Amino acid sequence: MPPEDDTLADLRRQIDEIDARLHDLLMQRTEVVQSIGAAKGDVANHTRPGREAEVLRRLIARHRGSLPKALIVRIWREMFAALTALQGKLAVAVYAPEGTFGYRNLARDQYGWRTPITAYRSAAQVLEAVAEGRATVGVLPVPRGDETDPWWRSLARTGDAVPKIVARLPFAAVEPPGTDNPEALAISLDGAEPTGDDRAYLLVETQEVVSRSHLRQILASAAFEVLDTQVSEEGGGHFLHLIEVAGTLPAGDERLEALLAQGEGTINQVWAGGGYAVPLSLEEMAAPGPDSIHSP
């Protein structure tokens, strides 16, 4: 056998050995995840978008070599979905107006090829599917300022059957957002988790027209850093505002009471609308340069 054939045969044996080790580790990871599910019990939330975000951030930060970062994300996203489904139901409801595929593609990329995904023509149907437990997760458009009947108004309620925002999609950007590759928010009855780099949503009802600058001042006085605001007229002189803020909104956050106090006479009610882990940016997902490939 020529020397080059010996070399190729040896390299292929190395690949076979690596594949076997990878397979062993995948089986081991599955056993650990199932042990975690058993330890949590039936009542625990089994979707963990915050935990998944932390894992992907760590992997992308340590990644080296020419294997595309997007492939690392794809492999782990499929693994997350498959192993989540082992712990409990995983089904997705997605907003998909006739003739569109962008949000369905986002849902498939995030939640895996084996996860049942049902398309709905209206945002209200997605919200209903999640609230009634027919879907574990719903995928809806990122709020925009020109909407006349925004879906996020439905989050301004209390109760166990009110969905919350738990993730922003795509988590790992590979191209700028556009018509064919939109951005979305995921909602769920499972709560969002802090990851150290997060955004949260507040819903604020006012009894009169309030300028954005004045509302920002009230929020700042209650220690909120405002990133974006949307508003919807509710009728009867009331307005509902969706406020995106830096950080998280843990249960019992004292700033909510402070906000009501600071906005007395202007703010009627406040609800926590959930939040999300800040996605990986285009820069973070860019291919490493030649100098970084061999860096320690």
CATH code at position 182: 3.40.190.10
SS3 call for 140: strand
pTM for the model: 0.91
Q: Residue 68: inside a domain, yes or no? A: yes
Query: Which amino acid is it at 142?
Result: V
The 10s digit of each residue's pLDDT in 56-101 is: 999 999 999 999 999 999 999 999 999 999 888 899 999 999 888 9
CA-based angle 162:165:169, to the nearest 5?
145
CA dist., res. 42 & res. 46, Å (int): 9
Across residues 122-150, what is the average pLDDT? 94
CA dist., res. 282 & res. 175, Å (int): 7
Residue 151 and residue 79 share a domain: yes
- Preceding peptide of 279 cis, ω within 30°: no
Residue 228 and residue 150 share a domain: no
Among candidate residues 161, 191, 221, the one where a domain is terminated: 191
Provide the pLDDT for residue 292. 47
Instruction: pLDDT band for 174, please (50, 70, 90 cuts).
Output: confident
Across residues 114-131, what is the average pLDDT? 97
Q: Residue 112: inside a domain, yes or no? A: yes
Number of domains in the chain: 3
Instruction: pLDDT band for 293, please (50, 70, 90 cuts).
Output: very low
Q: Residue 45: inside a domain, yes or no? A: no
Within 10 Å of residue 198's Cβ, how many Cβ atoms?
19
Residue 229 and residue 143 share a domain: no
Residue 122 and residue 85 share a domain: yes
Across residues 169-191, what is the average pLDDT? 90
Instruction: pLDDT band for 294, please (50, 70, 90 cuts).
Output: very low
- Residue 31 lies in domain: 7-40
Q: For the chain, give the number of residues.
A: 296
Q: Residue 12: inside a domain, yes or no? A: yes
Query: Which amino acid is it at 257?
Result: E
Asked whether the predicted pLDDT for residue 27 surpasses 90, the reply is yes
Residue 109 and residue 174 share a domain: yes
Q: Residue 224: inside a domain, yes or no? A: yes
Q: Residue 95: inside a domain, yes or no? A: yes
Please report, for residues 55, 109, 274, 284, the alpha-carbon distance to residue 185 in angstroms, rounded to integers and kept in the order given. 20, 14, 11, 20
Q: Residue 127: inside a domain, yes or no? A: yes
Question: Do the beta carbons of residue 253 and residue 203 sit within 8 Å?
Answer: no
Across residues 167-180, what is the average pLDDT? 89
Residue 258 and residue 205 share a domain: yes
The 10s digit of each residue's pLDDT in 199-224 is: 999 999 998 889 999 999 999 999 99
Among candidate residues 172, 191, 210, the one where a domain is terminated: 191
Please report, for residues 2, 93, 290, the alpha-carbon distance to residue 149 in angstroms, rounded to integers and kept in the order given. 72, 20, 49
Identify the DSSP state of 278: P
Provide the pLDDT for residue 234. 86
